[in-house]
Amino acid sequence: MQRLVQLALDLFDPPGPERAAGASPTVAGSPAEKIKPKLPEALVDKAQEAPETGANVALPAAPPVPALASLLSPAEFRHPRANREVLLGDAVVAYALHRVRRRSIGFTVGADGLAVRAPTWVTLAAVDAALREKSGWILRKLDEARARQQRSEGGRIAWAHGAQLPYLGEPLTVVLDPTHGFTGKGGALHPASDGAADMNLRIGLPHSANPAQIRDAVQAWLMRDARRHFTARLDHFAPLLNVRWTSLRLSSAQTRWGSAKADGSIRLNWRLLHYRPAIIDYVVAHELAHLRVMDHSPRFWGTVATVVPDYPVLRNALREQPAPLWE
């Protein structure tokens, strides 16, 4: 009987050697073996890099907060010869006050800032009150003047061989050429040697010339060419406006492009030669029109429009395109 029971058990349990080759049966009451599944390497790396729950993770530093004083500091416009200042809106405006013999207060805003001309009998309080009344216009013009000055700074000319500057609205390259014969003119225009549309201005100076020498030589040539160009345009527009001009003088003013007197004398800024011909024509026609109307009334602008119909566009272009700085 015992033999039969053993045979029955052998049907369900393999013999000793096979059992040894397999997994040992778990004994009731014994602790089960803890099996750790093998994770793919990528998952293991990520698990190791991930911060523990509840751990303090450093956050990126916040950008610095500007100081309150820098946010509240008012804008400032200061004339180099300022002798008085006033608060207009949230801007401090230091202006140059001139006492003159006139009947009203006049304002001009230029590259230097605000200049005020007032009669001797007007009190300082009245001058400041007039400025506050026109504060919107004054601040707008000061902002525009500052923006033009910044654009001019970007167009500063570096005086050396290969320097570039605008000439009649197109790029002009300065070429130092001591071997060139200029027949007393000091320089000459030539097409670019590489076939480009730009022009070269060949100046009879050695490559060792210093910036001041190069600047002066280029200016001398431009002034001669400006007189030639301006004379031709004055002769063109004068008959159309039925006026007669008597003399032409070149100006180097920083804030005025031209002027005219009743005797027919015309003054034009030689730096106009930096601009395209249409803008020069506007300034020439503007000054010649003053020989008929010596103010800026609607009648004056109507006179200008008879020869330069698009003068408003050209006037704005002249305001928005500052000439390069010469130093």
- Give pLDDT, residue 58: 42
Query: Fold for domain 163-320?
Result: Zincin-like (3.30.2010)
Contact 269, 252 (CB under 8 A): yes
CA-CA distance, 222 to 273, in Å (whole number)? Answer: 7
Q: What pLDDT, on the 0 to 100 scale, is given for residue 24? A: 36
The mean of the pLDDT values for the chain is: 78
Q: How far is it, in rounded angstroms, from Cα 202 to Cα 188?
A: 5
Would you kindly state where each structural domain of the chain is located, as residue ranges? 73-154, 163-320
pLDDT confidence tier of residue 35, bands split at 50, 70 and 90? very low
Contacts of 177 (CB under 8 A, 6+ apart): 202, 203, 204, 205
Residue type, 320: E
Contact 219, 172 (CB under 8 A): no
Q: What is the DSSP letter of 204?
A: S
91 pLDDT more than 80: yes
Give me the pLDDT at residue 112, please: 86
Nearest to 132, CA basis, from 89, 178, 164, 77: 89
pLDDT at 45: 37
- Give the tens place of pLDDT for each residue, 119-172: 999 999 999 999 999 999 999 988 888 877 766 665 678 889 988 899 999 999
| Nearest-angstrom CA–CA distance, 243 and 173 | 38
